[in-house]
Amino acid sequence: MNFLGVPRKHLIYGGLTFFSVLGAIMKVTVLDGPGSGFLTWYLGFLYLVFVAWAIGELRKIQRREQEERAAPPEGVAAASLSLMNPPAEEALISAETYLSLGESLDTVCQFVEPRYRDWSASEKQAFRSQLRAAIDERRAKAG
């Protein structure tokens, strides 16, 4: 989540820095006099609660970033799943029919795999190659 283009973790780091410096300045200037003991303890407690919350949020963000790095992007996962599972025989027959009618391979891929439009160019190329190879293999077996 961003606020004005600044990532949330940077806002939290900025908040920690700001409140730490503000607390140190207030402790030295305003809260150093007599009769400010309760206020010093109260503001110190609030500061510790804020620091605990900030550390928890930063750990959540770090865990989420690690999970995102470990998991492949959505498009890659969809493409690799499709690449692992060759099209069914009915899909190959339909694809071969569309190709014989003059449709482009790109259009045929959209008929065979509905998620094809959402993929990146490299994923589309890989799927087109796999589909072309499956159609050629089917034709070789039939002929």
* Domain-wise residue ranges, the chain: 2-70, 74-142
At 1 the pLDDT is: 61
So what's the pLDDT on residue 53? 95
pLDDT of residue 66: 86
DSSP sequence for the chain: -EETTEEHHHHHHHHHHHHHHHHHHHHHHTTTSTT-HHHHHHHHHHHHHHHHHHHHHHHHHHHHHHHHHHSPPHHHHHHHHHHHSPPPHHHHHHHHHHHHTT--HHHHHHHH-GGGGGS-HHHHHHHHHHHHHHHHHHHHHH-
Contacts of 137 (CB under 8 A, 6+ apart): none
pLDDT given at position 85:
66
Residues of the chain with pLDDT under 50: none
Say if residues 123 and 75 touch (Cβ distance below 8 Å): yes
Q: What's the pLDDT tens digit per position in 117-133?
A: 888 888 888 888 888 88
pLDDT attached to residue 27: 86
Q: Is the pTM of this model over 0.75?
A: no
